[in-house]
């Protein structure tokens, strides 16, 4: 997934769409908005928004530290948690540099799934479809002709905490 | 200059804005793990050195504590899980890359000698207690346990079998106890998202600290002056190594990347500075070490105070490491 920080207006529609689509319990969330301001008055002040969620990392510390294998990577690179295998120890939460996981009130660990139940039906994740400025670009990064691959070829991008060595797969377009 | 002004829509209890998934239960569990590892190590090590008669507390009496505290630790751990009823999943999987997985397995395996070892010494324990204090209430309990053990035939056969291969078992248990002690540190150092924990010195440091707390406990429980003196010396040696490891840890972090330098700052001027240096290093290491030096050079210092300080320092060290570790991050909101 790529996220165009130049287009995002910080409306939080993606957050609400996710909560509705995935029945996220009240008081929790799987994605959120970060507003960054660069510079200080009276010099040039620049502001941009970013919609953040699980980075579906290529090198997954959460899957590595999971003692039961409940955290796993499915085909296509999405990181998921099998509820019946999760003991709720919290190791994956400690392992995640992005704070993208949470303890579901039912006890298991929960996180963004890129709405894989929607992907199976050929749809986009709920956050992508609902975005009013189309700043979220979703697709197959292995396919050079997919919109997300093209966006990454055309624009400059950055990822969060590359020094954590997780090779995150959510790219932010500058 | 860049600053993040506002984060909206983000509410994640125990994760944002402050990560606090692990708390006191884990800290106590790590303390118990280290203590149990140390007790097992000393019992088996001095058994192999042929000290059965000169060190009865270490080899015959104190090991009864181990299975009890390990069980307590495991109960604590299960209650700290969020998906408690699924805890058995831990024993259906072996994940070599997850320290929590192989640590749970090590604990399960080490429980076997930890239980069998003291059972083979029940009679000696009763004798020891009788000699030391005839009115000790534990004597009745142990006599009852001993009678019960003798009534269960398969258990008697198992204990005879264990006695036959005790030497081999002792070698294996020493090895396992070191793994257990190191595991309590490696459990934390496996998380590269928490720069404070992400240092390989944490394994040896936790092992040394655990063995040192065990030596302190044995020193306290024993009434044999020679045994006490030996543990006093061992503790002094271990405290010196611990201090070296702690300095080494901070040196390593200061020479590391930005995240690790910031993590070290938590203890070098940050919010955990006073509690760490005064309570852990001062009260838990330097003062007991000084008292031990005084004691060894002839002054009369109550052993209880020294042991308590070391045990207390060890427990506090784990508390502080757990909370400080969760305060260190890569600053990704």
Which residue of A14, A87, A103 is the best one to mutate when testing the B interface, meaning the one whose CB has the most B CBs within 10 A? A87
Please choose, from the candidates B21, B203, B218, the residue with its C-alpha nearest in 3D space to the C-alpha of residue B106.
B203
A52-69 pLDDT per residue, tens: 999 999 999 999 999 999
Nearest CA to A13 out of A134, A106, A170, A154 is that of: A134
Entry pTM: 0.94
Instruction: Set out the domains of chain B in order of their start, with CATH numbers.
Output: 24-85+96-327 (1.20.1630.10)
CA-nearest of A45, A44, A49, A40 to A6 is A49
ipTM of the complex: 0.91
Q: Measured between CB atoms, does B7 come within 8 Å of chain A?
A: yes
On average, the pLDDT of chain B sits at: 93
Tokens 């400080």 correspond to B324
Asked whether the beta carbons of residue A94 and residue B22 sit closer than 8 angstroms, the reply is yes
Does the beta-carbon distance from B98 to A91 stay under 8 Å? Answer: yes
In this complex, do B83 and A68 lie within 8 Å of one another by their Cβ atoms?
A: no
Q: Which helix (H) or strand (E) holds A135?
A: none
**DSSP labels for B42-65?**
HHHHHHHTT-TTT-HIIIIIGGGH
Residue A25 per-residue DSSP state:
P
User: How many residue contacts between A and B have a Cβ separation below 8 Å?
Assistant: 168
pLDDT tens for B295-331 read 999 899 999 999 999 999 999 999 999 999 999 998 7
HSE toward the beta carbon, residue A84, CA cutoff 13 A: 0
By the CB < 8 Å criterion, does B18 face chain A? no
DSSP 8-state class, residue B134? T
pLDDT band of residue A105 (cuts 50, 70, 90) is very high
Q: Is A91 exposed, middle or buried (0-12, 13-18, 19+ CB in 10 A)?
A: buried
For residue A105, what is the nearest residue in chain B, using CA coordinates? B82
Q: How far is it, in rounded angstroms, from Cα B178 to Cα B288?
A: 24
Judge: B8–A33 Cβ closer than 8 Å, yes or no.
yes
CA A49 to chain B, closest CA, distance in angstroms equals: 9
R_g over Cα of chain B: 22
Q: What's the first-to-final CA gap in chain B, in angstroms? A: 17
Local confidence band at B232 (pLDDT 50, 70, 90 cut-offs): very high
> Helix crossing, B153-164 with B138-151: angle to 10°?
100
Q: Is B10 on the interface with A (CB under 8 A)?
A: yes
- Decide if B119 contacts B159 (C-beta within 8 A): yes
Mutate to test the interface with B, among A65, A163, A167 (most CBs of B within 10 A): A65
Other CB atoms within a 10 A radius of the CB of residue B10 amount to 19
CB < 8 Å to A163, chain B: 257-259, 330
| Ordered structural domains, chain A, with CATH | 2-173 (3.30.70.20)
Residues 6 or more apart in contact with residue B118 via CB below 8 angstroms:
B60, B63, B64, B66, B67, B125
Residue B5: per-residue pLDDT: 65
- Chain A CA closest to residue B12: A28
- Assess B302–A contact: CB distance below 8 Å, yes or no: no
User: What is the structure's pLDDT at B138?
Assistant: 87
């Amino acid at each position: 997934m790529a996220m165009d920080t130049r287009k995002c207006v910080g409306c939080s529609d993606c957050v609400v769409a996710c909560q509705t689509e995935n029945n996220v319990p009240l008081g929790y969330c799987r994605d959120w908005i970060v507003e960054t301001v660069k510079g200080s008055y009276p010099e040039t002040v620049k502001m941009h928004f970013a919609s953040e969620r699980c980075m579906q990392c290529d090198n997954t510390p959460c899957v590595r530290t999971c003692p039961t294998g409940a955290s796993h990577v499915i085909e296509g690179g999405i990181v998921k948690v099998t509820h019946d295998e999760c003991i709720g120890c919290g190791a994956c939460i400690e392992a995640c540099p992005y704070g993208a996981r949470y303890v579901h009130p039912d006890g298991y660990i929960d996180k963004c799934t890129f709405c894989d139940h929607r992907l199976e039906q050929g749809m986009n994740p709920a956050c992508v479809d609902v975005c009013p400025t189309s700043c979220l670009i979703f697709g197959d990064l292995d396919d050079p002709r997919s919109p997300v691959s093209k966006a990454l070829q055309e624009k400059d991008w950055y990822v969060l905490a590359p020094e954590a060595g997780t090779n995150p797969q959510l790219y932010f377009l500058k | 200059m860049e600053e993040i002004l506002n984060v909206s829509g983000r509410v994640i209890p125990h994760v944002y804005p402050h990560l606090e998934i692990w708390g006191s239960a884990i800290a106590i569990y790590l303390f118990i793990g280290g203590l149990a590892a140390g007790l097992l190590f000393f019992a088996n090590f001095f058994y192999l050195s042929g000290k059965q008669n000169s060190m009865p507390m270490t080899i015959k009496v104190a090991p009864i504590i181990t299975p009890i505290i390990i069980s307590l630790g495991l109960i604590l751990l299960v209650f700290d899980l969020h998906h408690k009823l699924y805890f058995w999943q831990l024993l259906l999987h072996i994940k070599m890359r997850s320290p929590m997985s192989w640590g749970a397995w090590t604990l399960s395996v080490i429980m076997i000698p930890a239980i069998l070892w003291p059972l083979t010494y029940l009679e000696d324990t009763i004798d020891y207690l009788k000699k030391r204090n005839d009115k000790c209430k534990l004597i009745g309990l142990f006599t009852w346990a001993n009678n019960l053990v003798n009534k269960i035939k398969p258990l008697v056969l198992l204990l005879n079998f264990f006695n036959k291969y005790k030497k081999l078992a002792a070698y294996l248990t020493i090895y396992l106890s070191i793994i257990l002690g190191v595991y309590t540190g490696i459990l934390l150092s496996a998380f590269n998202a928490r720069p404070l924990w992400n240092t390989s010195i944490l394994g040896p440091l936790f092992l040394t600290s655990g063995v040192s707390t065990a030596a302190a406990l044995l020193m306290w429980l024993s009434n044999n002056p020679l045994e006490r003196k030996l543990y006093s010396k061992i503790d002094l040696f271990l405290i010196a190594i611990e201090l070296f490891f702690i300095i080494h840890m901070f040196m390593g972090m200061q020479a590391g990347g930005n995240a690790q330098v910031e993590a070290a700052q938590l203890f070098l001027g940050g919010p955990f500075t006073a509690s760490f240096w005064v309570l852990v290093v001062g009260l838990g290491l330097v003062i007991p070490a000084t008292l031990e030096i005084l004691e060894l050079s002839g002054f009369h210092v109550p052993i209880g105070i020294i042991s308590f300080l070391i045990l207390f320092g060890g427990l506090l060290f784990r508390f502080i490491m757990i909370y400080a570790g969760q305060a260190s991050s890569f600053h990704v909101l």
